[in-house]
Amino acid sequence: MIVMKFGGTSVADASALTALRTAVASATGSRVIVVSALAGVTDLLVEVTTEADQGSLDGVAVRLQALLDRHLDIARDLGLGEHPSLESDLQAELTRVAARLAAPGGLAEGWRDAVLGTGELLSSRLVVAVLQSVGLPAVWCDAREVIRTDARFGGAFPDREAIAVLSHSVIEPLLSAGQIPVTQGFIGSTADGRPTVLGRGGSDFSAALLGAALGAEQVEIWTDVSGLMTADPRIVPEARVLAEATYDEAAELAAFGAKVLHPATQLPLIEARIPIVIRNTFKPEAPGTRIVGESQVEDDLPVRSISFKRGVVVLQVRAARMLGAFGFLRRIFEVFERHEIVVDVLATSEVSVSLTVDPSPRLEAVVADLRVIGEVTMRDHRGIIAVVGRAIRDTPGITARVYQAIADVNIEMISQGASASNLTFIVREEQGPETVRALHRTFFGSAP
Ligand code: ASP
Ligand code: MG
């Protein structure tokens, strides 16, 4: 059994859905299909929730109608007019959101998640219809009955034990009956039935959760690029696709800029050693990238990829009176925990700590709280460059080659050794691309 997850661009329009249908038809054996919303739809739904918050229900109605029309147009382009229930199913889904948004007495807690998840409920209907149109035994399967989560709305945590039980009772019977379940990424629900979402980009994570619960042979992430690359090809035109990477390397790449995979995706799959394969929906002949455990990797390039994440904020906290005192780090991290801000890169000295965070309106309050501990400086428009490869820490000479390549760049902060597979440093954002190119030349040469 395999899980095939298709991202937003793989369901964006009639030609993408036709490519998706070919990919699903070409696979053999049992398959579970997981789909994202059509490209751009979740962004639009975020805007809808803002408008609803502001009470602009007319604006909301216009947008929801446009959303329905987009799906109906695609159905028409695909010649799905004959489908017995597609149009009414799509319509019913939209009616439900509209009713929720207009609910008298205000919006219930968690209402936003129900709205955000609508894109997947719609796209999965289209996918079922398009697969059925060539005789594939696709059935619609409601992810909210399987992906059980806590009630952390906006970015809920999955309950993996419950998901294992629910997958067996809901999905396995469909597979045994020879059907192809088509379900939604991104969405789930709490034990008491309130809809939740796993956080932006969470469909990959959904696919991994289902793959682990069902003991899949592999989880395939079908997208619009041919795999993980040695660098972002928009920055380095000669970047190439990696045939293989380890879970660790993929996690580092996902965390530091490569948008191909949601960072949590590999977590459920590591223990069961289920490979993740990244495939290109629009180039099915490309083998893609296979992500596996360290011992399963065949090639031994010490450096796999150079990633670059823009728009990072660096915070530095200095407290001279902490010299020789304990509890400094704990106090700092308590602040981030309280404000629920994720810290990416960290470097410490005896009396100061530098760390990176994503921009957020909550940073002002974070800085105010940190000022109680020490002197705080904040620098924005920084970029994180990560040199990723599973043997970086343990291969002599790599650090020297990195430093040589970036000799002319002002490195503001550096972090190495916390993971064997990552050497990370912070530069001014505008110096990022040139630095990435220099590193790429050093480790991968120029165009083959
Ligand atoms: N549709 C959701 C998003 O845009 C989930 C996903 O595509 O992975 O964030
Ligand atoms: Mg994605």
Largest CA distance in the chain: 75
- φ and ψ of 101, to 5 deg: -70, -30
Task: Return the structure tokens found at 90.
Answer: 């799509």
- pLDDT at 351 (0 to 100): 85
Report CA(200)–ligand 1 centroid distance (Å): 5
- pLDDT at 291 (0 to 100): 94
How does DSSP classify residue 35? E
Helices 118-132 and 86-101, axial angle in degrees (round to 10): 180
pLDDT digits (tens, 9 = 90+) for 172-218: 999 999 999 999 999 999 999 999 999 999 999 999 999 999 999 99
The ligand whose atoms approach the alpha carbon of 39 most closely is 1
Query: Best of 11, 34, 38, 42 to mutate for ligand 1, by most ligand atoms within 8 A of CB?
Result: 42
Tell me the pLDDT band of 447, cut-offs 50, 70 and 90: low
Mean pLDDT of the region 2-13:
98
Domain ranges of the chain: 2-224, 305-444
CB contact at 8 A, 97 and 64: yes
- pLDDT at 301 (0 to 100): 78
Ligand 1 residue neighbourhood (C-beta within 6 Å): 7-8, 36-37, 42, 119, 185-186, 200-203
Report CA(389)–ligand 2 centroid distance (Å): 23
Judged by DSSP in three states, 82 sits in coil
Closest CA to ligand 1's atom 8: 201
Query: Best of 9, 35, 36 to mutate for ligand 1, by most ligand atoms within 8 A of CB?
Result: 36
The ligand whose atoms approach the alpha carbon of 223 most closely is 2
Report CA(388)–ligand 1 centroid distance (Å): 25
Report CA(40)–ligand 1 centroid distance (Å): 9
Ion ligand 2: residues, CB < 5 A: 7, 201
CA 162/CA 165 separation, integer angstroms: 5
Angle subtended at Cα 170 by Cα 169 and Cα 174, rounded to the nearest 5 degrees: 110
pLDDT digits (tens, 9 = 90+) for 266-322: 999 998 999 999 999 999 999 999 999 887 777 677 899 999 999 999 999 998 777
Whether the pLDDT of residue 448 is over 50: the answer is no
CB contact at 8 A, 210 and 194: no
Query: Best of 49, 186, 204 to mutate for ligand 1, by most ligand atoms within 8 A of CB?
Result: 186
**Is the overall model pTM greater than 0.75, yes or no?**
yes
CA 410/CA 408 separation, integer angstroms: 7
Indicate the average pLDDT of the chain: 92
Closest CA to ligand 1's atom 6: 201
CB contact at 8 A, 23 and 4: yes
Report CA(184)–ligand 2 centroid distance (Å): 13
Q: Do domains 2-224 and 305-444 have the same CATH topology?
A: no
pLDDT digits (tens, 9 = 90+) for 47-65: 999 898 888 888 899 999 9
- pLDDT at 105 (0 to 100): 60
Mean pLDDT of the region 325-346:
90
**Which residues of 319-408 form beta strands (DSSP E)?**
343-348, 352-357, 375-388
Domain 2-224 has CATH 3.40.1160.10: yes
- pLDDT at 372 (0 to 100): 93
CA 95/CA 89 separation, integer angstroms: 10
pLDDT digits (tens, 9 = 90+) for 427-438: 999 999 999 999
- φ and ψ of 224, to 5 deg: -110, 15
Task: Return the structure tokens found at 426.
Answer: 């912070």
- pLDDT at 216 (0 to 100): 98
Residue 198 alpha carbon, nearest atom of ligand 1? 5
The ligand whose atoms approach the alpha carbon of 35 most closely is 1
Is residue 407 classed exposed, middle or buried when 0-12, 13-18 and 19+ CB atoms within 10 A define those classes?
Answer: exposed
Q: Which CATH superfamily is domain 305-444 in?
A: VC0802-like (3.30.2130.10)
DSSP letter for each residue of 281-321: TT-TTS--EEEE-GGG-----S--EEEEEEEEEEEEEE-GG
More confident residue, 34 or 56: 34
pLDDT digits (tens, 9 = 90+) for 126-161: 999 999 999 999 999 999 999 999 999 999 999 999
Q: In 158-314, where does DSSP find H-type helix?
A: 160-166, 172-176, 203-214, 247-255, 267-270
